Homo-oligomer: A and B are copies of this chain.
């Protein structure tokens, strides 16, 4: 697979990636380190909460999606990182044993005004469960090198 550059991500470009199993063990391990709220650690506490059962930390969901993005295309892309995220919406709980798929679409792509050789690509990412259950939506911006680098700008 050839390395991907800004020009490879026009508006309307889509990707679907997965499936990826999410385990109870990793949910609890992430929560214990970064987000030890009871409903991320314990089934009974989860059932007693608005989440209705043990559920992954939303930040764990973001981290899992980041790894899926890396494996799907970012690891093979001239990525220069991200200045930020416009939206993170946690739509439904991510449960142990869920199998997630990532769907991505390019909303907008433009050359950077300040960095020759780099383009700015806005993506929408939807993380969905095995039955199509929507789990998380993000709108994120990634800086991606232009084909030929600075010379092309």
What is A's interface to B at a CB cutoff of 8 Å? 30, 33-37, 39, 49-51, 57-60, 62-64, 66-67, 70, 74-75, 79-90, 115, 118, 143
- Contact status A88-B85, CB under 8 Å: yes
If A62-B59, A75-B36 touch, whether A115 touches B83 (CB-CB below 8 Å) is no
In the bound complex, residues from chain B placing their C-beta under 8 Å from that of A82 are: 58, 90
User: Are A67 and B37 CB-contacts (below 8 A) given A58-B82, A62-B59, A88-B85?
Assistant: no
Nearest-Cβ distance from residue A71 to partner chain B, whole angstroms? 9
Stoichiometry, as copies per complex, reads 2
Q: Is the CB of A70 within 8 A of B36?
A: yes
Whether B58 pairs with A81 at a CB distance below 8 angstroms is yes
Complex Cα gap A20–B143 (Å): 29
Question: With A62-B62, A87-B85, A90-B84 in contact, do A79 and B37 touch (Cβ < 8 Å)?
Answer: yes
Name the 3 nearest CB pairs between A and B, nearest first.
A84-B89, A85-B88, A34-B63
Q: Which of A39, A75, A84 lies at the interface centre, i.e. has the most chain B CB atoms within 10 A of its CB?
A: A84
Looking at A51, A58, A70, which has the most chain B CB atoms within 10 Å of its CB? Answer: A58
Q: What residue in chain B is nearest A58 (Cβ atoms)?
A: B82
A64–B57 alpha-carbon span in the complex (Å): 13
> Which residues of chain B have C-beta atoms less than 8 A from A37's C-beta?
70, 74-75, 79, 81
